[in-house]
Amino acid sequence: MTFKRLLAALLFLPLLSGCEPEPVEPPPPTERSVLRVGTLYGPQIYVSTGQGLSGFDYELAEKFARYLDKPLKMMPYASIGELYQALERDDIDIIAAGLTDTPARRQQFRLGPPLYEVDQVLVYKEGNKPQDDLNQLGNGLTVLADSAFVDTLTQLKQQYPNLNWQQVVDKDGEELLEMVANGDIPYTVADSSSLQINRRFLPELRVAQVLEDNQSVVWLLSPFHSDKLMSQLLAFWDTERRNGTLEELNEKYFGHVQRFDYVDTRAFIRAVDSKLPKYRPWFEEHAGDLDWRKLAATAYQESHWNPHARSPTGVRGMMMLTLPTAKQMGISNRLDPEQSIRGGAKYLSNILSRLPDSIPEDQRMWFALASYNIGMGHVEDARKLAQSMGLNPSSWGDVKQVLPLLQKRKHYSKTRYGYARGSEAAHYVDNIRRYYDTLVWLDNQAQTVASAPPPQETESVSLDAASAAPPQ
């Protein structure tokens, strides 16, 4: 070998034996004219319904885009892993998908400020025996690949050496919860917010134990060239936190799902099959500008869709109208289901038209329903009381907190209309919102099934805990 070849070989050896090179920082991206937000589908994240787009992350992203004076481009992806890749390729500016703050994500991304908190919970099906010892789960635990749950389970495995799990890449969180409810898998891990929402449709779901509590949900930004965007996000977050937007979104998406009644939820889903088809045409016909499902949910709260329902207080029928209200709405027979539905719809529309203009459009229905329950005068008393306490009288979340005070002499003695069962009105509205959400979900499911192509075999990919690489 010549001296030159030997020297070249010696110089080349360190390249073969040395460590992997440091990641190369990409060149600065071009300033975009739109805000590109990567997301996942989910009722609390981003979803399209007959009433348009909704979701906590979607609404906040929409507000952030307006703050930046840019159009919003929501870009849903099939998995967390695909979101990560899209951010790395600079296909998106932000990941807004209900993801939590974890040590692994802190190493990979820049994390935005906390939006709300969730617990990680081990979920099983009602009727099965919950397992307290994680060593005894066997191979029955299935979780999403690249999720924060994998981080948690990896840490718990040090304490529970026999803990094993499968990671799936061809499902989403909603599908895994449905698989548990159907008995297809024994266990999964979910965020508490997702579980609370899905129990409206899948009441068999139960919490075996909390694996990790009080985790902050955050947005993720690229670790490179995101200083300006992060600065704008922090300023936006501070503004929205101070003006109550974050609290309002929390109330809108999670406030009404905190209370869960298994028996009532099961009974409602059965009634949707057995009773609703008979009355649905009248709800749709007489709803007018209202969403017929909100009208139907109100009727279920009032009478459980019983046209002959009666109360000792004198209200009657499907929509439980008083005699003076029925006469005012042109109803001659409160026990006739169609007349009752028509009268209830007309009365509810009348209340909506009389509400103050300061109440936002997306919250007017909740104020109207509270008024339907205890009267507009008492709701106005609650609004004035909220304002006197430094709260927003046009925010349903704030007024909902104040309504129970109408039962306390210290407060109702100073109001115009006096005592009212305000806590009942708050629960009344929460119940209707849950029934409505369930009707929307069942409606969407029916439409999906009707439009779905014939089933084809698909290959599912899974990784067990022993062979899976840690989430990147």
Question: Would 399 be classed as within a structural domain?
Answer: yes
The boundaries of the domain holding residue 421 are 262-435
In this predicted structure, the answer to whether residue 5 has a pLDDT above a threshold of 70 is no
Domain for residue 8, yes or no? no
Lowest mean pLDDT of 40-54, 298-312, 339-353, 413-427, name the range: 40-54
CATH (domain of 336): 1.10.530.10
pLDDT class of 313 with cuts at 50, 70, 90: low
pLDDT, residue 49, reads 58
List of E strands, 316-417:
none
User: Whole-angstrom Cα distance, residue 191 to residue 212?
Assistant: 9
Mean per-residue pLDDT over the chain, rounded: 86
In this predicted structure, the answer to whether residue 43 has a pLDDT above a threshold of 90 is: no
- Judge whether residue 24 has pLDDT over 80: no
Q: What are the φ and ψ backbone dihedral angles of 95, each rounded to 5 degrees?
A: -105, 120
Q: Is residue 304 part of a domain?
A: yes
Are the beta carbons of 420 and 391 closer than 8 angstroms?
A: no
**Percent of the chain, pLDDT > 70?**
86
pLDDT digits (tens, 9 = 90+) for 229-284: 999 999 999 999 998 889 888 888 887 776 777 778 888 999 999 999 999 999 99
> Which has more pLDDT, 462 or 356?
356
Mean pLDDT of 159-180: 90
pLDDT value at residue 54: 81
| 420 lies in some domain | yes
CA-based nearest residue to 289, from 356, 349, 365: 349
Asked which of 23-32, 238-247, 345-354 is least confident by mean pLDDT, the reply is 23-32
Q: Is residue 374 part of a domain?
A: yes
Q: What percent of the chain has pLDDT over 90?
A: 61
Q: Which residue has the higher pLDDT, 423 or 236?
A: 236
Active site amino acids = 302
What pLDDT score does 327 carry?
Answer: 94
Q: Is residue 467's pLDDT more than 50?
A: no
- 266 backbone dihedrals φ, ψ, rounded to 5°: -60, -40
Query: Is pLDDT of 20 > 60?
Result: no
Q: Is residue 268 part of a domain?
A: yes
Dist. CA 237–CA 231, nearest whole Å: 10
The answer as to whether 221 is a domain residue is: no
pLDDT value at residue 460: 34
Q: What is the pLDDT of residue 463?
A: 37
**DSSP-assigned letters across all residues of 61-78:** HHHHHHHHT--EEEEE-S
What SS3 state is found at 27? coil
| Whole-number pLDDT of residue 452 | 61
> First and final CA of the chain: distance in angstroms?
45
For 264, the enclosing helix (H) or strand (E) is helix 262-274
pLDDT of residue 12: 43
pLDDT reported for residue 131: 80
C-alpha distances in Å from residue 358, one per residue of 215, 376, 401:
35, 15, 19
Mean pLDDT of all residues in 333-347:
96
pLDDT of residue 200: 77
pLDDT at 19: 47
Mean per-residue pLDDT for 45-65?
84
How many domains, the chain?
A: 1
Position 354 scores a pLDDT of 95
- For residue 98, tell me if it sits in a domain: no
Asked if 472 and 148 touch (Cβ cutoff 8 Å), the reply is: no
pLDDT, greater one: 317 or 23 = 317
Residue 97: count of CB within 10 angstroms of its CB: 22
**In this structure, what token pair is assigned to residue 296?**
């139907």
